[in-house]
Amino acid sequence: MIHNTSLLTRSGFNLDVSVFLAEVADMAYKPSFAIKAWALTNGFGLQCTVFDHDNIQGFWCATGDVAIFCFRGTSNPGQWIRDLRFLPVDHPWGAIHAGFRGGVENAEPDVQAFMSFASKANHVWITGHSLGGALAVIAAARLKQYGITSSIYTYGQPRVSLNGFGERFEIELPGKLFRFINGNDIVPRIPPGLIYQHFGTVKHIVQCGFEATGNELVDKEPPPLTKQEFDTLQASIQETNGESFEGSLPWISDHSISEYIRLLREIRG
């Protein structure tokens, strides 16, 4: 299949779009020249900007009726989880995680630049993996405050807010957020406890051999980690000196964006 901007004119949940945007989220980890080459190949021409604001990274592209904004996840997720704090701060829609709000604020110059194109497009998309998924959700709320409605696909996204923000998000952007969770991916289950909440439509990838005879998507929300489970997780990461945990700890290896892409391709196929 040749992916191009016409794919992003579809509405509602779509498996082709879910694979494409997972590939977009993966591209955010690539060098700038590779991202711009990808943009040319996929019909965005030269309108592609790669950004890095105090280690908040990503890119955005626009062409005609389509605009897309992608946040990169952390390059060291193990260290990020090890150092994670849970302080909520105010947002016009309700309380959100302080770090996620700060990340979008750091990227404000590119969010504003993107808005000038997104305001003219009928199909606006925001995506991201891991930390990038959390930033994507907050950025979507930011755009909506300026009257721009976007569709959001996230992969391995942590919890971003308290319940009030989620309720407002569902009112302002109903049916626009699709959250993908792969198998036993631990990141969507943090921050631990019941204070932080998920919202949007969950798409849980259940792999063959666990609860299904074949890989499939189910509407199933895994429970948040308990404090004890999270303390054990942080201690395990501490033993690895904060090194990237993908593959190093088997019970959270499902977090890899490459694994999301592989399984979504299989399900689509």
Kindly tell me the number of DSSP H helices and DSSP E strands found in the chain.
9, 10
Provide the percentage of residues in the chain whose pLDDT is more than 70. 90
Cβ neighbours around 252 below 10 Å, total:
24
Residue bearing tokens 């190093």: 248
Span 36-44, mean pLDDT?
A: 92
Report pLDDT digits (tens) over 98-129.
999 999 999 999 999 999 999 999 999 999 99
- 261: containing domain: 5-268
How many domains, in total, are found in the chain?
Answer: 1
Residue bearing tokens 């990237």: 244
Span 65-87, mean pLDDT?
A: 84
Look up the CATH number of the domain holding residue 79.
3.40.50.1820
Look at residue 246 in the predicted model and tell me its pLDDT.
44
Look at residue 247 in the predicted model and tell me its pLDDT.
45
Report pLDDT digits (tens) over 9-23.
988 899 999 999 999
Burial class (CB in 10 A: 0-12, 13-18, 19+), 171: exposed
Look at residue 239 in the predicted model and tell me its pLDDT.
66
Which has the higher per-residue pLDDT, 211 or 29?
Answer: 29
Look at residue 230 in the predicted model and tell me its pLDDT.
86
Provide the percentage of residues in the chain whose pLDDT is more than 90. 67
Report pLDDT digits (tens) over 156-215.
999 999 999 999 999 999 999 999 999 889 899 999 988 999 999 999 999 766 555 568
Strands of 151-155's sheet, edge to edge? 48-53, 56-63, 66-71, 123-129, 151-155, 177-182, 201-206, 216-218
Task: State the Cα–Cα distance between residues 166 and 196, nearest whole angstrom.
Answer: 10
Q: pLDDT averaged over the chain?
A: 89
Residues 6+ apart with CB under 8 A from 250: none
